């Protein structure tokens, strides 16, 4: 008879345990990640609820339900099994920064600057509270049951809750009344700086005081013990303050404070778990609580505990110790079939070790020794050494070392570029293309050098690149860069042509100006006068000329006589001359 019930119980427990290992993480983009701490992987992602950064995430007692608030002024109720929004409503006129669920799971506290108490069934505001001048950073219930046990308990009336805000040194305590009259805080706790972490041991009995541990931004921990019994006018100070400092023995006599990062009460409520030191490697320690002393300073030597040294210079590039006699083969090169010989005796092992007197070469010296003479480079059949450009290039790409990349990529020798690209492993082709694209975008003078590398990569690794399914997105930036440069080529060539014509014209005009001027004075001057004497003299001069000149002059005179005769005949009305008259005139 008990069999089915027992199974049911086990399955319920299993479901609860399954949900306990899930960590909800709000992100700055508005999504919530559910991370399984047991499996160590992301279980699911909650999307579509918020448009802005998530400020607070709270699990409901029902483990499948999750509440979140955001800068987009909304509160969202999630179903974590279906990963969908169950309900979404506006929580405030400004961003909602903090949430807290009541002990019975029926009410929800939300805070931006004012604090509101919501009924989760109707999603309506049950109570309003004044809140703080700045945005609230912490909200939590300090009691589970009301102090006045005579009245019937409805799950919320008569409870106290605590709130803290950023840049506010007062933690306020609020009382939920049955009527809506009182909206102000009933008491407050004062601390030395802005509270960063708050933990409390909830009082379940009327006479038992509430224990409160507040970690401040200045690294101090304040512990309060107080019975919540109504209104208190003055701010309450801490019963005990805890600080941690270094002993200050080694060389430095002054002790230095060690910041406390967080604190939490253990189940017995008599001891504390302290988290202090460096945020990257914090130290967690259990400390027994003694509130009789008002101030406690714990001395801890964190230098001995912490293994992380921040002053040591860290470098990503590891320099291999290579002996000049040894050849180190590079794994993963096609055609590499030589069997690697393992050292047979202890003598060979000693050879590989560096002698005590020898100093290891620095990276700068190694880079300086890399100007290889092309004539000394072996044939491509030989195995590449660790000092070769291909290995250096891969090292530079993996460690993103600008010094190594500059040394290799600024090589202008075509043979070295081709050999380096041919010897480099295939997995480094895409990172090399990204690096070349980045350099092409920078200094325009480096483009001429980078284009040589691009040409070698595309010619030697074209078959590998054609097999990549996402090649176009990978090389999208390079395509755009080349298109933008080619677009301007036509305009530049036109401009080049025009400038060439202008320059040649300017040069031609300069050469014309430099030529000596020709003598323009006439060698023969002919003057025509009306007097007959001068005419007879001219005839004497003309006799001395050649026969050709004489014939030309004669023809000219005949033509002029004919023209005169035709003009006269036209005036007289005769259009044609008779042959007899013609001969007489001649």
Separation CA 240–CA 237 (nearest Å): 9
Please check whether residues 258 and 140 belong to one and the same domain: yes
* Among candidate residues 486, 510, 539, the one where a domain is terminated: 486
In a domain, 75, yes or no: no
In a domain, 228, yes or no: yes
Positions of the chain with pLDDT under 50? 1-17, 308-310, 312, 335-352, 373-387, 575, 577
Separation CA 359–CA 349 (nearest Å): 19
391: nearest Cα among 368, 412, 419: 419
Classify 87 as helix, strand or coil. strand
Please check whether residues 101 and 233 belong to one and the same domain: yes
- Dig out the tokens for 210 from the structure: 């509430």
In a domain, 283, yes or no: yes
Q: What is the pLDDT of residue 352?
A: 47
Q: What is the pLDDT of residue 361?
A: 73
Please check whether residues 295 and 403 belong to one and the same domain: no
Q: What is the pLDDT of residue 501?
A: 93
In a domain, 318, yes or no: no
- Dig out the tokens for 492 from the structure: 């530049």
In a domain, 102, yes or no: yes
Separation CA 197–CA 186 (nearest Å): 22
- What phi and psi values does residue 410 have, to the nearest 5 degrees? -85, 10
Q: What is the pLDDT of residue 571?
A: 57
Residues sharing a CB contact under 8 Å with residue 90, sequence separation 6 or more, in sequence order: 73, 74, 75
* Among candidate residues 276, 299, 322, the one where a domain is terminated: 299
Contact 188, 206 (CB under 8 A): no
In a domain, 73, yes or no: no
Does the CA dihedral 349-350-355-356 come out positive or negative?
positive
* Among candidate residues 456, 486, 516, the one where a domain is terminated: 486
Separation CA 486–CA 498 (nearest Å): 19
In a domain, 574, yes or no: no
Please check whether residues 102 and 220 belong to one and the same domain: yes
Separation CA 440–CA 455 (nearest Å): 13
Please check whether residues 110 and 209 belong to one and the same domain: yes
Please check whether residues 106 and 222 belong to one and the same domain: yes
- CB hemisphere CA count around 351 (13 angstroms): 10
Please check whether residues 156 and 291 belong to one and the same domain: yes
Please check whether residues 168 and 295 belong to one and the same domain: yes
Contact 82, 47 (CB under 8 A): no
Separation CA 92–CA 69 (nearest Å): 10
Separation CA 582–CA 577 (nearest Å): 6
**What does DSSP assign to residue 517?**
P
Exposure class string for 139-172: b at 16+ Cβ within 10 A, else e: bbbbbeebbeeeeeeeebbbbbbbbbbeebbbbb
Proportion of the chain in helix, strand, coil states, percent, rounded to 5: 35, 25, 45
In a domain, 419, yes or no: yes
Contact 68, 49 (CB under 8 A): yes
Q: Where are the alpha helices (DSSP H) in 424-475?
A: 429-441, 447-460, 462-466, 471-474
Q: Looking at the 3D structure of the chain, how many domains does it have?
A: 2
Separation CA 309–CA 173 (nearest Å): 43
Please check whether residues 138 and 240 belong to one and the same domain: yes
Domain range enclosing 436: 389-486
Separation CA 51–CA 364 (nearest Å): 51
Classify 76 as helix, strand or coil. strand
Q: Quote the pTM value.
A: 0.51
* Domain CATH code at residue 189: 2.130.10.10
């Amino acid at each position: 008879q008990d069999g089915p019930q027992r199974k049911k119980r086990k399955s319920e427990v299993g479901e609860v345990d399954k949900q306990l290992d899930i960590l909800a993480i709000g992100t700055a983009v508005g999504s919530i990640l559910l991370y399984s701490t047991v499996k160590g992987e992301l279980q699911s992602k909650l999307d579509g609820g918020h448009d802005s950064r998530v400020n607070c995430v709270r699990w409901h007692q029902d483990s499948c339900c999750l509440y979140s608030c955001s800068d987009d002024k909304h509160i969202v109720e999630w179903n974590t099994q279906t990963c969908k929004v169950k309900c979404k409503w506006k929580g405030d006129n400004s961003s909602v920064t903090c949430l807290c669920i009541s002990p019975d799971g029926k009410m929800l506290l939300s805070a931006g600057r004012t604090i509101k108490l919501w009924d989760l069934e109707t999603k309506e505001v049950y109570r309003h509270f004044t809140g703080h001048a700045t945005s609230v950073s912490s909200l939590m219930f300090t009691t589970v049951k009301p102090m006045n046990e005579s009245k019937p308990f409805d799950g919320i009336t008569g409870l106290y809750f605590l709130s803290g805000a950023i840049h506010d040194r007062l933690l306020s305590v609020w009382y939920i009344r049955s009527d809506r009259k009182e909206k102000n805080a009933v008491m407050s706790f004062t601390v030395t700086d802005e509270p960063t972490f708050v933990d409390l041991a909830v009082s379940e009995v009327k006479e038992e005081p509430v224990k409160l541990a507040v970690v401040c931004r200045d690294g101090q921990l304040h512990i309060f013990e107080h019975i919540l019994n109504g209104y208190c006018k003055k701010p309450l100070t801490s019963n005990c303050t805890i600080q941690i400092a270094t002993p200050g023995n080694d060389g430095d006599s002054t002790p230095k404070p060690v910041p406390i990062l967080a604190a939490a009460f253990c189940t017995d409520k008599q001891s504390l778990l302290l988290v202090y030191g460096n945020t990257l490697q914090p130290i967690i320690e259990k400390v027994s609580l003694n509130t009789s002393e008002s101030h406690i300073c714990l001395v801890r030597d964190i230098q001995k505990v912490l293994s992380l040294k921040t002053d040591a210079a860290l470098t990503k590039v590891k320099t291999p110790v290579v002996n000049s006699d040894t050849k180190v083969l590079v794994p993963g090169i096609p055609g590499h079939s030589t069997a690697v010989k393992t050292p047979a005796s202890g003598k060979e092992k000693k050879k590989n070790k560096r002698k005590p007197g020898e100093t290891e070469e620095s990276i700068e010296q190694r880079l300086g020794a890399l100007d290889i003479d092309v004539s000394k480079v072996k044939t491509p059949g030989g195995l590449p050494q660790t000092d070769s450009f291909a290995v250096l290039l891969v090292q530079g790409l993996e460690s993103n070392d600008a010094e190594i990349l500059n040394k290799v990529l600024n090589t202008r020798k075509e043979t070295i570029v081709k050999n380096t690209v041919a010897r480099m492993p295939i997995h480094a082709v895409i990172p090399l293309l990204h690096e070349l694209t980045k350099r092409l975008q920078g200094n325009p003078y480096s483009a001429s050098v980078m284009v040589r590398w691009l040409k070698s990569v595309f010619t030697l690794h074209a078959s590998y690149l054609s097999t990549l399914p996402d090649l176009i997105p990978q090389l999208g930036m390079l395509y755009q860069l080349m298109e933008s440069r080619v677009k301007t080529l036509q305009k530049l060539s036109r401009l080049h042509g025009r400038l060439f014509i202008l320059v040649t014209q300017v040069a031609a005009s300069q050469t014309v100006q430099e030529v000596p001027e020709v003598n323009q004075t006439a060698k023969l001057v002919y003057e025509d006068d009306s007097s007959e004497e001068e005419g007879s003299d001219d005839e004497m001069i003309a006799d001395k000329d050649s026969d050709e000149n004489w014939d030309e002059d004669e023809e000219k005179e005949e033509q002029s006589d004919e023209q005169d005769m035709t003009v006269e005949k036209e005036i007289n009305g005769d259009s044609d001359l008779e042959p007899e008259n013609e001969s007489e005139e001649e």
